Amino acid sequence: MLTAETVDRIVRFDGRGLPVSSVYARVDADPGLREDLHARVTSMLDEVNPLAKNEAVQHEARLSIRADIDRIKESLAQERWKPGAIAIFACSGRDLYLEVPLPRGVRDEVAVDATPHVRPMLTVLDEYHRACVAVVDKASARLWEIYQDELREVGKVHDPALRKSNYSAGRVEERVRNKADELSKRHYRNVTQLLDRLFRAEDFDLLIIGGHEYEVPAFIEFLPKDMRSLVAGTFSIDPAEPVLAEVRANANAVLQSYERAEEHQFVTDILDTVATGGLAVAGLDRCLWAGSIAAVDTLLILDSAVVPGVVCDKSGWLARSGAACPLCGSPTRPTPDVIDELAQEVIAEGGSVKHITDDDRLAEPLAAASIRFPLPPEPVTA
């Protein structure tokens, strides 16, 4: 599975003088499109091939690129990439070869550069939360990481507790109950400390808690304030024998509703800002203009929206139509999806893009954005 360490390794990778090959390819679910994938990846590698033969490129670098190409071709032939997209980072001369499966499609791209081309990967991964799932009862706790649907155990706590039989009737009852409370408090403190260590060491951004419905709130009370604010949700499960599939399904349900709520909030915030005349715009055309002049801070786009348009590769002008760019006069390049071009542009300019799965308020505008400065008037298109 893809871990924070892998991503970190790629982002920080330094070829120490050798170039890194980065390839992104969309992988369709339809097996009938295998040949298409083969053709697209092969043609991207063909673009890189001249570098591997160019005498002007240092010998060691040429060998490394050559080996990268061979390795990627080998992997392509095995047809084992999962639907969504594949990102490949290779620097054979420095023993780097990593394939990162991405859960959704990205634009095909190839780059050979001093550093890995990580932006498209980071954008996709940004949509997924890395959460810690804690299943807790009065004496035990099991902790997992959940990321992109996969669970990985990250910790376990067992503390002494009084058994039910210790609750004898009569005058000692209260003393025994106090003792039991004290033990469970000590246990909760131990779990909290472990969580604290994990959150410092790992890259978690959310916490999900499972257990008996009657015990979970007491545990949450024990969490320090900053950690309590990371609780994305809770679920009910038998903490004595938590079944992994059940933990995963419950945690995913929590994450999904958290994600939906987060998306809903983004739309609310930006549309409210538009309504009050603040720094935000709604509607694809306004967003395209904002994107053309690097004014977009956060772009919200409706996941299902695909709109053809035009791009000026010289000045970055984006629009639904126009044969010539009104900013520089160059001929434009038609694109099947100008929203995708807009998203790439926003990321390239340091903004962020949020994919909104489903929100009626975006059905008509298709896109909305918070902007960095008020937009100048749009140029008149010919």
**Binding-site ranges for Zn ion (CB under 5 A):** 312, 314-315, 317, 325, 327-328, 330
Report, in Å, the least distance between residue 330 CB and Zn ion: 5
Tokens encoding 268 = 């609310």
Report, in Å, the least distance between residue 47 CB and Zn ion: 24
CB 21 within 8 A of CB 48: yes
Report, in Å, the least distance between residue 338 CB and Zn ion: 14
Report, in Å, the least distance between residue 325 CB and Zn ion: 3
DSSP conformation class of 46: H
Q: For residue 132, what are the β-bridge partners?
A: 145, 207
Report, in Å, the least distance between residue 296 CB and Zn ion: 18
Report d(CA 305, CA 303) in Å as an integer: 6
Q: By C-beta, is 273 or 292 nearer to Zn ion?
A: 292
Report d(CA 357, CA 361) in Å as an integer: 12
Report, in Å, the least distance between residue 333 CB and Zn ion: 10
Sheet hosting strand 333-335, strand order edge to edge: 318-319, 309-311, 333-335
Sheet hosting strand 150-158, strand order edge to edge: 150-158, 140-147, 131-136, 206-211, 231-236
Q: By C-beta, is 184 or 332 nearer to Zn ion?
A: 332
Q: By C-beta, is 4 or 327 nearer to Zn ion?
A: 327
Q: By C-beta, is 10 or 296 nearer to Zn ion?
A: 296
CA distances in angstroms from 183 to 138, 166, 178, 219, 222, listed in the order given:
8, 13, 9, 13, 14
Phi, psi (5° rounding) for residue 195? -60, -45
Q: By C-beta, is 203 or 313 nearer to Zn ion?
A: 313
CA distances in angstroms from 47 to 89, 200, 343, 369, listed in the order given:
16, 43, 24, 35
Report d(CA 189, CA 240) in Å as an integer: 19
Report, in Å, the least distance between residue 287 CB and Zn ion: 18
Q: By C-beta, is 123 or 332 nearer to Zn ion?
A: 332
Burial of 3 (0-12, 13-18, 19+ CB in 10 A): middle
Q: By C-beta, is 253 or 328 nearer to Zn ion?
A: 328
Report, in Å, the least distance between residue 10 CB and Zn ion: 33
Tokens encoding 183 = 């033990």
Report, in Å, the least distance between residue 382 CB and Zn ion: 12
Report, in Å, the least distance between residue 108 CB and Zn ion: 24
Report d(CA 135, CA 142) in Å as an integer: 5
Question: Between β-strands 296-302 and 231-236, what pairing exists: parallel, antiparallel or unpaired?
Answer: unpaired
Residues 6+ apart with CB under 8 A from 312: 318, 325, 327, 328, 330, 332, 333
Give the rounded distance of the alpha carbon of 212 from its chain centre. 31
Q: By C-beta, is 237 or 325 nearer to Zn ion?
A: 325
Q: By C-beta, is 235 or 317 nearer to Zn ion?
A: 317
Q: By C-beta, is 71 or 314 nearer to Zn ion?
A: 314
| Helices assigned H by DSSP within the chain | 4-12, 34-53, 59-78, 119-126, 173-201, 216-222, 225-228, 244-275, 284-292, 338-348
